[in-house]
Structure 1
């Protein structure tokens, strides 16, 4: 498919550039330079506005009466794919910008409200490779997926030690998919090789809740839950079938993003060094079993007879993961801070459903960060290196054998900058 301008409103405009690499699966390893610099840990922290995504209860413990925060990231990917028709091939160089913005206001000593827009998840890949028969020769393979959260948030300090919070808002999603593809069914054309160009955009409700508890003045624990997001993405799909021609369908992509349960702890030592750890379970097995594509009303008379409707299920069969994140912060002179972190999560994709369209196979993330004050603003910079081993496919679960005896590699570098101002 041709990639079009996403154009799905303010929640995505300028806030997301998608990638399949800064992530546990398709969920990002941290949002905001401060969190990323310490390995993505944030569930037990309250020093940034991004806690309304990671754990909305932390917002109640923010310092100051007003807080404004904006962040930007540049992601540089390094993807490779190979199979019987293609030697080891690198993806098209395409740096991705990502961003977020958040504001918070204290209404009383115990009540804080906030509003944030965050790029929470995504995937993307782009190649020019030899396609399988009957579409041999150079073909364009491309995918884009994006999820942004718009989160009105309420956070309450219930006692001197306990705070609670909730975010109830909207999730905005977009998916595009282009390339040679064998229809999987269940439909009348199952097993037929095609060229597919699909895209869809949708909005769905979002909610999350969290708690933070101060065990001591130096130690805080947190717990958070983000509900599963089920989305219907409306758009069009253009499909080309040998001998039958090309048809444009109205289409709906049914896609879910996983529920998440996380716990975290942050401890400040007597030397003012802070250690933090988060453990986050992601329900991939419940949300990434398949992607359903429903097509109707083709504009080609041949397809109106041959396949007036099509129901296509793209197999995924992902497995659950637990993301382990670790971070250390060391204060320096003049209120500067040095950060370092590490995150680990196993690859959620079984080899039988691995394709060049979704290559979220990184397993390790090394992070470094630095914070300083500039003109009354808190500035944070972070660098993140994500990598994983080569992954191999023997016999693919995809009908048609397009991805049999193939392999993939994924790595990325991300540079992040956040600005925060309090009053």
Structure 2
């Protein structure tokens, strides 16, 4: 029962693959969307700091809760190139992410004051992974039909003000991982059609979030966070269906038909430093710089390279570490209204420049955010934010030695043109 509730929660609050230079998103439906993540762990203006920097809770009074929701639309469609094997067909797969490009996100955050210097908090949010689904008969079906890799984090946290300038925070990251994969298998005999391989497992992973906040004075502060690596170890027996006798026999001889498949996913560790500077009563400047260790991610491509000679169900995909830079501003339009602006850049985590795997049609990312929030009363604030994430044009160049006619995956050559994601969020913060 508990696992089912967590799965529902993960589907609701997980954000998406279309974001950072990797698969970790900064978008949780909060004001950070309008800032394009600028000042991410130094802002500490509401209860979302429980997630972004637990040390920031020392700036919050009493009990505070923030609930957020967001709706995203991803323009991620494949264009088949002239080098693609003709026998793979002409189906481009449709919108790869979400349901016709749409998918939800959000989070919930709570902070409690034990004393003016000691705070406790809890957050639930999903900022790792997203569902990816192509048409079953699309040209790249022997590489992927659908995959879901989600991580929802439950974060109990604590913060303590050491003195009037320095605060420290820590949290336990209990991440519930969901991994599902489906890929077509090439039966060389047309009468059988395509076979299918499915993989499905859930796993818990554990990590730590540490935060520091240093307040230079009342209007200027620095935030520093470290999020540890989280290991998600999946193990399940792949399910095969509609295999021709020849393919089934080959898989059985290779010991692959009834095997257990272990897949280790390492959600990368990351470090980020942010600044918040109140320039005057109207303007504040925010900035962030971060690093994520995607070189240890360990993602694999599930499928069969050549059904006439099956040797493995997985293929490793290499990755590289990424860098994040963001700059933004806040403008006090009037006493109740605060406007947010931001721009950010994340370097790519796939090593071959603009050439990517259809499992992950993303790489570098530019963010452009704008938002506003209104103080409704002394105890409540609500806000809206929007962000556009531009990923550029991404190419695929996957080639195999075995032709499609004899059981190979075929050559998949093409591109995802002008990829981008629109994020729309709404949130509310309450003091009790």
Do both proteins adopt the same fold according to a TM-score greater than 0.5, normalized to the shorter chain?
Answer: yes
Q: Whole-Å Cα distance in 2 between the matches of residues 293 and 8 of structure 1? A: 28
Residues 129, 251 of structure 1: alpha-carbon distance in 2 compared, 3 angstrom cutoff: closer
Indicate the residue corresponding to 2:172 in structure 1: 168
Deviations 1:70-125 (A, max 9, x none): 11111111111234244755316042111211111111111000011111211332
Aligned to 1:120: 127
Contact 2:362 2:391 (8 Å CA) reproduced: no
Task: Give the SS at the match of 2:392.
Answer: coil
Mapped pair 1:418 → 2:398? no
1:67 pairs with 64, 67, 74, which one?
A: 64
TM-superposed CA distance for 1:194, in Å, is: 6.2
Give the corresponding residue for 1:374.
Answer: 376
| Deviation of 1:347 (Å) | 2.2
User: Given the superposition, is the C-alpha separation of residues 398 and 407 from structure 1 closer, same or farther in structure 2, using an over 3 Å criterion?
Assistant: farther
Assess, with a 3 A threshold, how the Cα gap between structure 1 residues 10 and 377 changes in structure 2: closer, same or farther. farther
Q: 1:160 to 1:341 in 2, by over 3 A?
A: same
Give the alignment's TM-score, normalised by structure 1: 0.83
Alpha-carbon distance between aligned partners in 2 of 1:406 and 1:372, rounded to the nearest angstrom:
46
From 144, 159, 166, the equivalent of 2:163 is 159
- Once the two structures are TM-superposed, the CA of residue 169 in structure 1 deviates from its matched residue by 3.5
Q: Cα gap change, 1:163/1:402 in structure 2, threshold over 3 Å: closer, same or farther? A: farther
Taking only aligned residues, the RMSD between alpha carbons, in angstroms, comes to: 3.1
Q: Which residue of 2 aligns with 1:388?
A: 391
- Going from structure 1 to structure 2, the CA distance change for 1:373 and 1:216 (only over 3 Å counts) comes to closer
Residue-by-residue CA offset, 1:226-264 (whole Å, 9 max, x unaligned) = 000111134452235543449676544321110001111
Superposition pairs for residues 25-36 of structure 1, below 5 Å?
25-36=22-33
Offset at residue 130 of structure 1 (A) = 4.4
Residues 16-415 of structure 1 mapped to structure 2, 5 A cutoff:
16-41=13-38, 42-62=40-60, 64-83=61-80, 84=84, 85-86=89-90, 90-91=94-95, 93-128=100-135, 130=137, 141-180=145-184, 195-240=196-241, 241-243=243-245, 244-245=247-248, 251-288=261-298, 290-291=299-300, 312-351=313-352, 354-374=356-376, 376-394=379-397, 402=410, 404-409=412-417, 410-415=419-424
**Cα displacement (A) at 1:18:** 4.7
Task: Give the match's secondary structure for 1:159.
Answer: coil
Counterpart contact for 2:159–2:167, Cα < 8 Å: yes
Partner Cα separation in structure 2 for residue 48 and residue 18 of structure 1: 20
Return closer, same or farther for 1:166/1:11 CA change in 2, 3 Å cut-off. Answer: farther
Rounded to whole Å, the distance in 1 between the matches of 2:104 and 2:428 is 16
Q: Deviations over 1:344-392 (max 9, x none)?
A: 1122113497222221235111111110133642111111111122122
Which structure has the highest strand share of the two? 1
Give deviations 1:38-93, integer Å, cap 9, x for gaps. 1113211211222222221111121x210011111111111112342447553160
CA distance in 2, matches of 1:132, 1:30: 32
Unaligned 5+ runs, structure 1: 1-5, 183-192, 295-305
Which sits farther off after the overlay, 119-128 or 200-209? Answer: 119-128
SS of residue paired to 1:71:
strand
CA contact (8 A) 1:39 1:366 kept: yes
1:29 Cα deviation from its structure 2 partner: 2.6
Q: What is the rounded CA distance, in whole Å, between the counterparts of 1:96 and 1:236 in structure 2? A: 29
